[in-house]
Every structure is written in C-alpha cells, then in structure tokens.
Structure 1
Amino acid sequence: MGLLKLRKNKKFNYTPRYYKGEGNPFEIKHKFDEHRTTIGNNSGLKTKFNNAVNDYKHNPNSEANKRVLIIVGILVLIFLFIIGFDLSIFFSK
C-alpha cells in the first residue's frame, strides 16, 4: 500500500454504438460553429464588437439584415413611447 502514491485512473477503449468515426464523439459542438466568426478567443469587448459588425456586414443574406434593422427600430420606438419620450424635439415648428 503506497500512502504517498496516487492511484491511476482506469482507461477503457470504449466507442459508442452509432459512432461514425469522425472526430471526438464526446465533444459538444454547435452545428453552426464553423460558420461563425464571433466565437472563439475574443479577449475584449472591442474585439467582440468588431467581429460581430464584420459578421453582420459580410452576411450574404441582406434581407435578414434589413429585417433586423426594422425590428430594432420598431422596438426602440415602442420603448420611447412607453417611457414617455417627447419626439417633438426632433421637429422644428
């Protein structure tokens, strides 16, 4: 009995039943990760923001970009209406 020795973990050569043989079967990965540029080692907020803007600019589906801008604009107007913001400051008499 070795009091100062650490016990080694047992190793098993296990493969899942329906494993196709490509990559690690125990790795959890989202199916769109290889298409995204915003994931990975983004150290700072500025880097994350720049990556998100570049991903938005170089998106091949421009209809989705327009749809997102319209939805964000409507939500901002609803928020301003709820808090009682006076929009008359933008219009001259």
Structure 2
Amino acid sequence: MGILKLRKNKKFSYKPRYFDDKGEGNPFEIKHKFDEHRKTVGGNTGLKTKFNNAIDDLKNNPDAEVNRRVLIIIAILVLIFLFIIDFDLSIFFS
C-alpha cells in the first residue's frame, strides 16, 4: 500500500431477494410516492424558483377546496399570533 495511493472499494454482485428482473426501476433508489407529480421536489434551485414552483403547484391543484382550507387555517393562525403579541387590530378599521 502506497502512502498517496487510495484503496479501491470492493464490488459485490448483490441482487435483492424480492426484486424481479422485469426492469421496474432501480431497487436501490429511494423515492417518495408523489415525486413524479410535483415540481417542487428535485434539484437545488434558487429561492425564487422554489417559490414560483410552489405557487404554480397551488394554482394548478385540481382540488380547490383544500387550497381554501389551507388559506383559512393560515389566516386563523396569523390572527392568533397577532392576539398573542397584543397587536391593535383597530388600525385596519375606521
């Protein structure tokens, strides 16, 4: 073994027990169930691209009732937060 020479990794011909040879993808690839349906999952992109992809997913979602429910929950949480910090809501009303 040389001082500057790195050791090579051993290679094994391992085949999973319950993997069929029909070619249904890589058995070692760990992937989420809904990855092929989302644009937000994937490479390391910038913050602006991630935000734009999330907005596109929200707009193109066929289930609009879920979007409305999420917006109502967010509004309630914001109002609770404003109540906790004792924010004066009278500035919004005349």
The interval holding the TM-score normalised by the smaller chain is: 0.7 to 0.9
Name the structure 1 match of 2:68: 66
Q: Within 1, Cα distance between the matches of 2:43 and 2:6?
A: 35
Q: Which moved more, 1:53-62 or 1:9-18?
A: 9-18
Change (3 A) 1:11 1:83: same
Cα offsets for 1:59-78 (capped at 9, x unmatched): 01111000000000000000
How many equivalent residue pairs?
A: 91
Give the TM-score of the pair, scaled to structure 2.
0.85
Superposed, 1:24-63 pairs within 5 Å as 24-63=26-65
Name the structure 2 match of 1:12: 12
Structure 2 unaligned spans of 5+: none
Structure 1 unaligned spans of 5+: none
Q: Which amino acid aligns with 1:91?
A: F
SS in 2 for 1:24: coil
Name the structure 2 match of 1:79: 81
Q: Within 1, Cα distance between the matches of 2:5 and 2:86?
A: 70
SS in 2 for 1:12: coil
- After superposition, the CA RMSD in angstroms is 1.7
Q: Which amino acid aligns with 2:74?
A: V
Give the TM-score of the pair, scaled to structure 1.
0.86
Q: Which amino acid aligns with 1:46?
A: K
Q: Within 2, Cα distance between the matches of 1:5 and 1:45?
A: 41
Q: Within 1, Cα distance between the matches of 2:8 and 2:92?
A: 72
